[in-house]
Structure 1
Amino acid sequence: MLAKQWLSNARDVMTRIEETQMDNIRKAAEVMAASIGCGRWVHTFGCGHATIPIEEMYPRIGGFVGFHPMVELPLTFFTRITGEMGVHQFVFLERVEGYGVEIMKGYTFDSRDTMWLFSHSGINNVNIDVAIEARKKGMKVIAFGSAAEAEGKQTRHSSGKTIFELADIVVDTCAPIGDASVAIKNHQDKLGPVSTMAFITCVWMTVITVAEILVEKGVKLHIHPSHNVPGDTTARERLEDALAEYKRRIAGV
């Protein structure tokens, strides 16, 4: 069954992450914990389907305050397919050099912050713009993507660099560079991408490690709770606590 083939491919990616990326995940988590622990942010950015890990980590049940999502609406890819904000426009925009520079102007950063970037191939201009601007502002840059598979691919940016070459720490998602993993009869293109699953796996391994480091240092986590558990009478109170902490940090207090 092709369904089981995809499942096997997905499991293989997760296994390779466990076997090869634990040290890098720990290094990334230590940098992020330092930012969050001093009251600053881990900013998160990606384009297209690489916005899914950003939306997954916060706000999200089981996530905690300290991760700041930077999601540029024309680059999310999901609101339209054709017509307004369609695929053609998205593919064009993520390759426009300088767009990421303009995106960065909309936020306030600090050298104690961390920039966490998601890109499967690491070669498109918007992500590279963001990485370069983050480094200029003194931030550590962490990149998650298919780094080994992307090695040797030509960047589209005038800097001559991919985000993996610009990052201080890289976590390889171990997904194939073509992403789709299941061959289908009578068709050139494969089905069943695995990069999103790989991103999400790496995200939660990293976020939980950040939490572990912070708790060991005595830092209180402001966790986004489930408010769907019968009998949990303080869930709303804990949610308000998390959102209040988020607003406090956004205000720079």
Structure 2
Amino acid sequence: MSVTQEYLAKGKDIVSVVAEQEKVIQEVAQLFAKSILAGRMVHLFGSGHSRMMVEEMWPRYGSFPGFNPIVELSLSFHNLVVGANGQRQAMFLENVPGLASRILRNFDTSEQDTALVVSSSGCNVVPIEMAEEFQRRNVKVVALVSKLHLEGSTSKKSDGKKLIDFADYVLDTGAPLGDAMIYLDGLDSPVAPGSTLGGVLLINCLKAETAKILHESGKSPKVLSSGKIVGDQRAVDLFESAYDEHAHLLAKLYANVGPK
């Protein structure tokens, strides 16, 4: 078997893991849709490469307003790798206690909101404290993790708690311990991670289920679409109206920030 065939075979296993979670996916979609129908938002957070799952949900083609992507560049800007704004600093910062509460200090959340926190290991401090802070605010939390990686890892939080300890729902990417899935003869470190594959599958299943609920509830989502599908003018109108809706929803998160 070639390494391509091996990766694709392991990818099929990940698809099976995601498929087995359909009931939970649908329950989470109900939760997300309830927030959006109430005129509130679903907060999205992920540090490091988990940022990709945040951006996969919104904004991009095939996605729609109702989601608040919380992307801290200090925790997720990898392009320079070394030097100023490098990866060493980002990996250090994602384990600094107290940073999560400073991030969320910017938002006036509501109990009608929900949150999706993504972390493959579920063991880094900032994602854990983000979930903890959301729950402290009575916001329901969905954790997206790699179960096997989480179970085989040690929390970096001082009390030993992991992301799933502050989650109302847990979704599993199906990736293995260590994430990478392909072992080569004579090389002790595996290559080609799987958590992104499982994560993207989960995100888009959630997106589709949430859109279905919104549409059937009389609030058809304003989906960012290609002019090749809906026509150029319709695509422009959708982009503008979707961005406007996002701005209006986001404004509510800033309206009453700070002590009353």
Question: Which secondary structure state, in structure 2, belongs to the residue aligned with residue 52 of structure 1?
Answer: helix
CA-to-aligned-CA distance 1:180-221 (integer Å, 9 cap, x gap): 000012211001101111110000001111111122222221
Q: Which moved more, 1:196-205 or 1:221-230?
A: 221-230
1:4 and 2:5 equivalent? yes
Q: Could you tell me whether the CA contact under 8 Å between 2:120 and 2:149 is conserved in 1?
A: no
Once the two structures are TM-superposed, the CA of residue 228 in structure 1 deviates from its matched residue by: 5.1
CA distance in 2, matches of 1:198, 1:231: 32
Partner of 1:79: 79
Asked if residue 69 in structure 1 is aligned to residue 69 in structure 2, the reply is yes
Q: Residue in 1 aligned with 2:94?
A: 94
CA RMSD of aligned residues (A): 1.6
Alignment of 1:39-188 (within 5 A): 39-151=39-151, 153-188=153-188
Listed as ranges, the gaps of 5+ residues in structure 2 are 256-260
Q: Which residue of 1 aligns with 2:213?
A: 213
Instruction: Look up the equivalent residue of 2:15 and give its one-letter code.
Output: M
Task: After superposition, give the CA deviation of every residue in 1:86-137 in whole Å (9 maximum; x if it has no partner).
Answer: 1211211111111111111122211111110101010110001101110111
Q: Percent identity?
A: 34
Give secondary structure in 1 for the equivalent of 2:171: strand
In structure 1, stretches of 5+ residues that fail to align are none
Q: Which residue of 2 aligns with 1:238?
A: 238
Q: Which range moves more in the overlay, 134-143 or 158-167?
A: 158-167
- Tell me if the contact between 1:16 and 1:174 (Cα under 8 Å) persists in the aligned partners: yes
Deviations 1:8-50 (A, max 9, x none): 11121112211x2111111111111110110100000001110
Q: Is the partner of 1:251 in helix, strand or coil?
A: helix
Calculate the TM-score normalised by the size of structure 2: 0.92
Checking the alignment, whether the CA contact within 8 Å between 1:111 and 1:138 is kept in structure 2 is yes
User: 2:58–2:69: 8 Å Cα contact kept in structure 1?
Assistant: yes
Distance 1:207 1:58 in 2: 9
> 2: distance between equivalents of 1:197 and 1:204?
11
Instruction: Kindly provide the amino acid, as one letter, of the partner of residue 97 in structure 1.
Output: P
Residue pair 1:125, 1:157 contacting (<8 A) in 2 also: yes
Stretch deviating more after TM superposition (97-106 or 55-64): 97-106
Deviates more, 1:70-79 or 1:221-230: 221-230
Rounded to whole Å, the distance in 2 between the matches of 1:124 and 1:2 is 31
